């Protein structure tokens, strides 16, 4: 594993969340942190300015392997960013039913949680957690 700047730390997730300036974004990030912890059974860990759950080896396009979280989130100014839910255009069936969102490579961007179908979001998180935990799944090795 090569050395990366973004690594898990012992910094307080609660303190990090308390420092989020936008009250709506803070509340959404707190709700998502609780939801992901409930689904995964893993404690949240601060990775720089991202909150991660679980840990796995991640191989980048250049073939280098790094430690990374399985599912994560970040309360960014523009949107609540969820990581590990849309790799390689996956989960289109759930994303169609989710509600207002945008996606990037492996990222799901939500402006507001109150506009999305929380049951669909729970299913999306559970599906990705299960796939990442299954060593025979292509998703587990191709991230």
Could you report how far apart the first and last alpha carbons of the chain are, in Å?
Answer: 15
Helix axes 23-40, 118-133, angle to 10 degrees: 50
Digit-coded pLDDT (tens) for 35-87: 999 999 999 999 999 999 999 887 878 888 888 899 999 999 999 999 988 87
> Residue 138 corresponds to which tokens in the numbers above?
């292509």
Can you give the pTM of this predicted structure? 0.87
pLDDT, residue 88, reads 65
User: 8, 46 in Cβ contact below 8 A?
Assistant: yes
Give the separation between CA 110 and CA 133, rounded to whole angstroms: 25
Q: Which residues, including other chains, have CB under 8 Å from residue 65's CB and lie 6 or more apart?
A: 1, 2, 57, 58, 59
Digit-coded pLDDT (tens) for 74-125: 999 999 999 988 876 678 899 999 999 999 887 999 999 999 999 999 999 9
Q: Is the pLDDT of residue 8 over 50?
A: yes
Q: Which residues, including other chains, have CB under 8 Å from residue 81's CB and lie 6 or more apart?
A: 73, 74, 75, 107, 108, 109
């Amino acid at each position: 594993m090569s050395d990366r700047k973004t690594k898990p730390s012992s910094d307080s997730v609660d303190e990090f969340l308390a420092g989020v300036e936008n009250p709506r974004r803070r509340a959404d990030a707190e709700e998502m942190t609780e939801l992901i912890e409930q689904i995964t059974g893993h404690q949240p860990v601060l990775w720089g300015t991202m909150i991660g759950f679980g840990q796995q080896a991640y191989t980048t396009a250049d073939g280098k392997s790094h430690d990374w979280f399985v599912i994560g989130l970040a309360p960014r100014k523009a949107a609540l960013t969820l990581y590990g839910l849309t790799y390689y255009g996956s989960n289109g069936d759930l994303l169609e039913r989710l509600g207002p969102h945008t996606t990037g490579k492996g990222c799901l961007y939500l402006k507001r949680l109150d506009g999305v179908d929380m049951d669909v979001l729970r299913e999306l998180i559970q599906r990705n957690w299960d796939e990442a935990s299954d060593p025979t799944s292509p998703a587990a090795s191709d991230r």
